[in-house]
């Protein structure tokens, strides 16, 4: 057995060489018979003129005796500099790719000497308020307020008390800083890729929520058509209601069947997301048709577990979640320094080329 990994010695071994792990500044103060402030000043090497050499020596002796390790909490308290950036997310746990926002934010925070304090609120307003209070209590320099899909939000009132950046969402106040995916650019790119391959009858299976994604991707689709002089045909935009059929796959399957029953079929379909494309695949296959030969399909999201593993693999537009997380931290740190004015930063959505178009 490797003694270095023996967890039963947890509470008795420490990097300082064998002393208790719970030594505090107070313990040092008591042993040295000085105030906690004096310990703090000695340990942090501040205001040397205020402390006599004899006192100083007594404190350092107690530090050595107890194996006290000055900690980041104490140091941030003394310096008045918080090491924390808060991140309040509504659903890290329930969406595959939202975790990439977390990773991008974390790595950018670390690069700048900050630690992320993360809270997953599961959409509950009371937990959101609790989480923001916790971050204020720990003197986070600011908070990233993140939603798992791109949408408009009501900013929680507590957020007004510290610098904030809205991640993947846009609050209704024009002075806010938001970092979101560029839905229009993404929708245009998806459509352009189909038009580039010679398709002229391109359908768009679009969701019906009032959200930046549905509005933006449709605007991108129309721009791409307009740029080629192709008239917009409203019959080629199929609205879906995923909540009525228990999922996007189910909605994509139904919309696919509707498209395939038409006498004049489109030859290519842009799907609102990869789950819609997954359902469309089923419909196409049940009709004995092939992708992309009989119908080219492009998705949106580059959703893990699905996009790369459908048959055929799905060409799609990726949501730049890692980049959104990283840029949000940079925007927050600029805002903390007073350098960032309210605006919406839109991040490009790149194409992921596979075999379905």
**Choices 193-201, 223-231, 244-252, 348-356; region in contact with a copy of itself by CB under 8 A:** 244-252
* Cα–Cα nearest to 299, from 286, 313, 289: 313
Cα–Cα distance between 152 and 172 in angstroms, integer?
7
Secondary structure (3-state) at 203: strand
Among 31, 43, 117, 268, binds a copy of itself (CB under 8 A): 117
Of residues 181 and 220, the one with the C-beta less far from a copy of itself: 181
Among 180, 306, 331, 349, binds a copy of itself (CB under 8 A): 306
* Close Cβ partners of 4 (under 8 Å, ≥ 6 residues apart): none
**Choices 53-61, 67-75, 180-188, 344-352; region in contact with a copy of itself by CB under 8 A:** 67-75
Instruction: Based on the shown chain and the rule CB under 8 A, indicate whether residue 213 belongs to the binding site for a copy of itself.
Output: no
Of residues 246 and 264, the one with the C-beta less far from a copy of itself: 246
Q: Is the dihedral of CA 89, 93, 97, 101 positive or negative?
A: positive
- Asked if 142 contacts 165 with a C-beta cutoff of 8 angstroms, the reply is yes
Instruction: Based on the shown chain and the rule CB under 8 A, indicate whether residue 4 belongs to the binding site for a copy of itself.
Output: yes
Instruction: Based on the shown chain and the rule CB under 8 A, indicate whether residue 74 belongs to the binding site for a copy of itself.
Output: yes
- Tell the residue number behind the tokens 């994509």, with chain if given: 252
| Interface with a copy of itself in residues 321-340 (CB under 8 A) | 335, 338
We find the least distance from the C-beta atom of residue 266 to a copy of itself, in angstroms, to be 22
Cα–Cα distance between 291 and 294 in angstroms, integer?
6
Task: Take residue 5 and report the two structure tokens written for it.
Answer: 């990994």
**CA angle in degrees (0–180, nearest 5) for 114-119-123:** 140
**Choices 230-238, 257-265, 307-315, 347-355; region in contact with a copy of itself by CB under 8 A:** 307-315
| Interface with a copy of itself in residues 82-111 (CB under 8 A) | 82, 92-96, 98-100, 102-103, 106, 110
């Amino acid at each position: 057995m490797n003694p270095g990994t023996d967890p039963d010695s947890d509470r008795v071994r420490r990097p300082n060489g064998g002393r208790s792990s719970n030594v505090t500044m107070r313990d040092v103060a008591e042993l040295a018979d000085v105030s906690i402030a004096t310990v703090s000043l000695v340990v942090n090497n501040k205001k040397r003129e205020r402390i006599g050499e004899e006192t100083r020596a007594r404190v350092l002796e107690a530090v050595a005796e107890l194996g006290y390790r000055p900690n980041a909490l104490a140091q941030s308290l003394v310096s008045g500099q918080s090491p924390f950036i808060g991140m309040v997310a509504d659903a890290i746990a329930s969406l595959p790719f939202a975790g990439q926002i977390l990773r991008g934010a974390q790595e950018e925070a670390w690069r700048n000497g900050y630690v992320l304090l993360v809270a997953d609120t599961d959409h509950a307003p009371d937990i959101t308020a609790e989480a923001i209070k916790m971050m204020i209590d720990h003197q986070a320099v600011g908070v990233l307020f993140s939603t798992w899909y791109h949408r408009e939000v009501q900013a929680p009132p507590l957020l007004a008390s510290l610098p904030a950046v809205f991640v993947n969402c846009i609050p209704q106040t024009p002075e806010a800083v938001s970092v979101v995916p560029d839905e229009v650019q993404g929708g245009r790119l998806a459509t352009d890729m189909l038009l580039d391959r010679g398709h002229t009858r391109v359908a768009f299976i679009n969701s019906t929520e009032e959200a930046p994604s549905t509005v933006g991707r449709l605007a991108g689709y129309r721009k791409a058509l307009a740029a080629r002089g192709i008239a917009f045909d409203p019959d080629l935009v199929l609205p879906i209601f995923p909540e009525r059929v228990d999922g996007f796959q189910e909605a994509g399957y139904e919309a696919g069947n509707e498209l395939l029953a038409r006498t004049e079929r489109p030859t290519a379909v842009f799907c609102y997301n990869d789950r819609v494309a997954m359902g469309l695949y089923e419909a196409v296959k049940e009709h004995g048709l092939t992708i992309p030969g009989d119908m080219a399909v492009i998705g949106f999201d580059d959703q893990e577990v699905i996009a790369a593993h459908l048959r055929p693999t799905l060409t799609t537009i990726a949501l730049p979640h890692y980049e959104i997380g990283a840029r949000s931290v940079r925007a927050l740190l600029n805002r903390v320094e007073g350098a960032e004015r309210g605006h919406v930063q839109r991040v490009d959505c790149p194409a992921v080329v596979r075999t379905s178009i």
